[in-house]
């Protein structure tokens, strides 16, 4: 047993000691914080600290004699490697939205036994599901203890980095206007108060940004609004005095982070509180007095921020062009270097691509940790090279690069696959089928209000035709200089909530994939924006939407099996490359310009 797995075993035993001391029989450690964030500050990375599994999604369950990690197919290979020797069993979930650990717990625990989970990080919707699933067997849910805290002596504290304002011209909608729109939504349903806990909603609504979470320009805070004012619950010292003064001018006062529950408990008896059950924790919900009327609906800000305005779209297109220029500079350098016989590793790709992005106007940071996967590593959808484990790029094959940047005017996310040396027929076939899925969905028109999961099968159809599929969703929403994963829309097999209807201005990724474990992986990703289109019927059957492709970077044509491509698909790709060339040509020169011109040459049918 190596030192790492020995340490993990010791941590699990300390958690079991805390479990026994609390009189409980199992503990659930979700990947969550008090804001139900996808990406977590270090303080709330308890599942990772206890298990050693570094994937962004997964749930750990520990009983007095067993430990299991539940993860979906994106992480199976990674989890198996990282859990080896730890005594923790991997339970493979069918999807990231699965809660099959509830069924597992119902089988493991006996009537009258207790499951402990920290109510401060337990989503209200999940709490309801746990109570329903376990209550049928007489298993008690205890949410008033944080057993991770008991086991984790040197647990990190709250982040301390200061917040800052997102300013004009990129912040095109004033804070006062956003607050007014949310209050109008509150008034329409009779709500006198509204709690906002999701950190991207708070950041968007107040035109503030931070650095409490790696790659996401957000900060840890809650916001409680009434009809005239609001309180921002945030750690002391994080808001500079001048920013605090401007917040006060818009009616937003500062309060200590730990006072949010107390403020909810003090709501007047005649208050009507709006909360989003998918975006608030059980701990905060239970702080609300029994006499206060509660309305459960999606946060108005979640819907508002998902629909980018025409003025924001101008800056988003600018950010995409800057990002595309950085990609041209990098790929020109990469291919020229390989031609000279120089050696590259996956770490070199990450470092040198990030360096090119840092040169671009408006760049703030990466939107997520770069995924550079050579051959077999490309078959791991959430792979990340580390100094301890990475591959050299050598021989023949495919290099998958999934990367993105945070710009003052937008957030980018792009995946491309590039040939190194000779690409074989099987690799070309896989690449082309994935590309056909990307093109099929990119060209789709659909009625406004279509639930985004209904579009998922369009990207999968070219793969399904050959008996192939992929385990992740086809597309996620993207923020405006905010989280790279943003709701409510999601193009996937799961319909999570009615608010997933597609509306103009929403930005979503299109990223089908195909993964050959131990061999190679293919994923081709662009960001697209919903735009209204006219039709021959002049919208007699309702308003129609189409996708405007925002991402600007060549899609490598050397990997395409032309025998699998239709003429209309080739025509779309040629038109896309003509746009990429036109938009990026003024921003690059020298070797990068030559590379751009070569990679955007028209393709002709076989």
**Cα–Cα distance measured from residue 41 to residue 200, given in angstroms and rounded to the nearest whole number:** 14
Residue 5's pLDDT is what? 60
- Residue-wise pLDDT tens digits, 94-135: 765 567 889 899 999 999 999 999 999 999 889 999 999 999
Between 4 and 603, the higher pLDDT residue: 603
207 φ/ψ sector (left φ>0, alpha ψ -120 to 50, else beta): left
Distance of CA 424 to CAs 127, 556, 559, Å?
A: 50, 15, 9
d(CA 427, CA 416): 14
pLDDT at 214 over 50: yes
Kindly tell me the burial class for residue 568, based on how many C-beta atoms sit within 10 Å of its own C-beta (0-12, 13-18, 19 or more): exposed
DSSP character for 422?
Answer: P
Q: Residues 445-451: what's their mean pLDDT?
A: 94
Give the Cα separation of 182 and 274 in Å (integer): 11
User: Does position 1 have pLDDT exceeding 50, yes or no?
Assistant: no
* Pair of tokens at residue 53: 């599994």
Residue 2 has pLDDT above 70, yes or no: no
Q: What is the DSSP letter of 6?
A: H
Tell the residue number behind the tokens 């792979």, with chain if given.
383
Tell me if 65 sits within 8 A of 58, measured CB to CB: no
Q: Are 126 and 143 in contact (CB under 8 A)?
A: no
Report strand pairing: 59-63 vs 114-116. unpaired
Q: CA-CA distance, 547 to 508, in Å (whole number)?
A: 9
Predicted confidence (pLDDT) per residue in 467-519, tens digit = 999 989 999 999 999 999 998 999 998 776 777 899 999 999 999 999 999 99
CA dist 172 → 261, 301, 315 (Å): 33, 16, 10
Q: Bigger pLDDT: 74 or 442?
A: 442
Q: Counting Cβ atoms within 10 Å, is residue 367 exposed (0-12), middle (13-18) or buried (19+)?
A: buried
**CB neighbour list of residue 10: distance below 8 Å, 6 or more residues apart:** none
Q: Using the predicted structure, report yes or no on whether residue 3 has a pLDDT greater than 60.
A: no
Q: What is the pLDDT of residues 517-544, one digit of tens each?
A: 999 999 999 999 999 998 776 667 789 9
CB-based contacts of 498, cutoff 8 Å, min separation 6: 451
For residue 384, give every residue at least 6 positions away whose Cβ sits within 8 Å of its Cβ, in sequence order, or none: 54, 369, 370, 371
Please state, in angstroms and rounded to a whole number, the distance separating the CA atoms of residues 561 and 543.
37
Pick from 290, 395, 393: which is nearest to 346 by CA?
Answer: 393
Predicted confidence (pLDDT) per residue in 355-410, tens digit? 999 999 999 999 999 999 999 999 998 888 989 889 999 999 999 999 999 999 99
Q: How sure is the predictor about 206, in pLDDT bands with cuts at 50, 70 and 90? A: very high
pLDDT at 208: 98
Query: Among candidates 35, 47, 23, which has minimal Cα distance to 197?
Result: 35
| 313 contacts: CB under 8 Å, gap ≥ 6 | 505, 529
447 burial type by CB count under 10 A (0-12 exposed, 13-18 middle, 19+ buried): middle
Domains and CATH numbers, the chain: 3-151 (3.40.350.10), 164-305 (3.40.350.10), 307-599 (3.90.230.10)
Match 């921020």 to its residue by tokens.
Answer: 305
- 3-state SS, residue 506: coil
For residue 73, what pLDDT is reported?
80
Q: What is the CA radius of gyration of the chain?
A: 25
Coil, strand, or helix at residue 196?
strand
Q: What is the dihedral of CA 495, 500, 501, 503, to 10 degrees?
A: -150
Say yes or no to pLDDT of 199 above 60.
yes
Per-residue pLDDT tens digits for 215-253 = 999 999 999 999 999 999 999 999 999 999 999 999 999
CA 577 from chain centre, in angstroms, equals 28
My answer on whether omega of the bond before 597 falls inside 30° of 0, hence cis, is no
- Residue 558 confidence (pLDDT) above 70: yes
Can you tell me the distance from the alpha carbon of 416 to that of 76, in angstroms, rounded to the nearest whole number?
A: 23
pLDDT tens by residue, 349-358: 999 999 999 9
Spatial distance between the Cα atoms of 381 and 376, rounded to a whole number of angstroms? 11
Going along 283-413, which residue ranges are E strands?
Answer: 293-296, 344-345, 363-366, 371-374, 392-393, 397-403, 405-407, 410-411
How far is residue 204's CA from residue 200's CA, in Å, rounded to a whole number? 6
Q: For tokens 């021989």, name the residue.
A: 395
């Amino acid at each position: 047993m190596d030192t790492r797995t020995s340490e993990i075993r010791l941590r699990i035993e300390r958690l079991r000691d805390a479990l026994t001391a609390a009189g409980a029989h199992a503990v659930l450690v979700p990947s969550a914080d008090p804001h139900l964030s996808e990406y977590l500050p270090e303080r709330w990375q308890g599942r990772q600290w206890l298990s050693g599994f570094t994937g962004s999604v997964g749930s750990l369950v520990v009983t007095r004699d067993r430990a299991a990690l539940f993860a979906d197919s994106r992480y199976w290979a990674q989890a198996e490697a990282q859990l080896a020797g730890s005594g923790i069993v991997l339970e493979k979930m069918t999807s990231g939205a699965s809660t099959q650990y509830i069924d597992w717990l119902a089988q493991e625990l006996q009537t009258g036994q207790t499951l402990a989970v920290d109510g401060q990080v337990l989503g209200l919707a999940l709490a309801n599901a746990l109570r329903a699933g376990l209550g049928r067997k007489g298993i008690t849910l205890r949410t008033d203890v944080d057993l991770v805290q008991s086991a984790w002596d040197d647990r990190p504290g709250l982040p301390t980095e200061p917040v800052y304002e997102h300013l004009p011209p990129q912040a095109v909608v004033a804070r006062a206007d956003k607050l007014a729109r949310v209050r109008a939504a509150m008034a329409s349903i009779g709500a006198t108060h509204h709690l906002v806990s999701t950190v991207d909603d708070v950041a968007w609504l107040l035109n503030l940004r931070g650095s409490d979470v790696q790659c996401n320009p957000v900060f840890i805070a809650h916001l409680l609004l009434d009809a005239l004012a609001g309180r921002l619950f945030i750690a002391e010292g994080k808001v500079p005095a001048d920013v605090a003064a401007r917040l006060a001018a818009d009616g937003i006062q500062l309060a200590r982070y730990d006072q949010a529950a107390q403020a909810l408990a003090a709501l007047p008896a005649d208050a009507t509180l709006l909360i989003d059950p998918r975006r608030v924790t059980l701990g905060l919900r239970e702080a609300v007095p029994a006499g206060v009327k509660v309305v459960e609906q999606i946060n108005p800000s979640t819907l508002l921020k998902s629909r980018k305005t025409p003025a924001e779209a101008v800056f988003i297109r600018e950010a995409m062009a800057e990002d595309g220029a950085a990609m041209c500079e990098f790929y020109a350098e990469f291919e020229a270097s390989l031609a000279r016989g120089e050696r590259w590793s996956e770490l070199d790709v990450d470092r040198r691509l990030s360096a090119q992005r840092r040169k671009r106007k408006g760049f703030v940071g990466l939107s997520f940790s770069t995924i550079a996967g050579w051959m077999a590593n490309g078959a791991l959808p959430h792979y990340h090279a580390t100094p301890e484990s990475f591959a050299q790029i050598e021989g023949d094959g495919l290099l998958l690069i999934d990367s993105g940047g945070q710009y003052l005017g937008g957030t980018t996310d792009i995946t491309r696959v590039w040939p190194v040396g000779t690409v074989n027929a099987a690799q070309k076939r896989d690449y082309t089928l994935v590309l056909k899925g990307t093109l099929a969905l990119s060209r789709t028109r659909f009625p406004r209000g279509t639930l985004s999961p209904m579009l998922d099968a369009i990207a999968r159809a070219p793969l399904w035709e050959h008996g192939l599929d992929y385990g992740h969703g086809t597309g996620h929403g993207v923020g405006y200089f905010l989280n790279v994963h943003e709701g409510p829309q999601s193009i996937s097999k799961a319909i999570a909530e009615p608010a997933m209807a597609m509306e103009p201005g929403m930005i979503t990724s299109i990223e089908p994939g195909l993964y050959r474990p131990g061999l190679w992986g293919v994923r081709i990703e662009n960001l697209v924006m919903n735009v209204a289109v006219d039709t021959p019927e002049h919208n007699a059957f309702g308003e129609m939407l189409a996708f405007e492709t925002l991402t600007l970077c060549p899609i490598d044509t050397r990997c395409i099996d032309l025998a699998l491509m239709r003429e209309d698909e080739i025509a779309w790709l040629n038109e896309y490359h003509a746009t990429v060339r036109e938009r990026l040509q003024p921003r690059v020169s020298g070797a990068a310009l030559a590379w751009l011109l070569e990679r955007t040459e028209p393709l002709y049918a076989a």
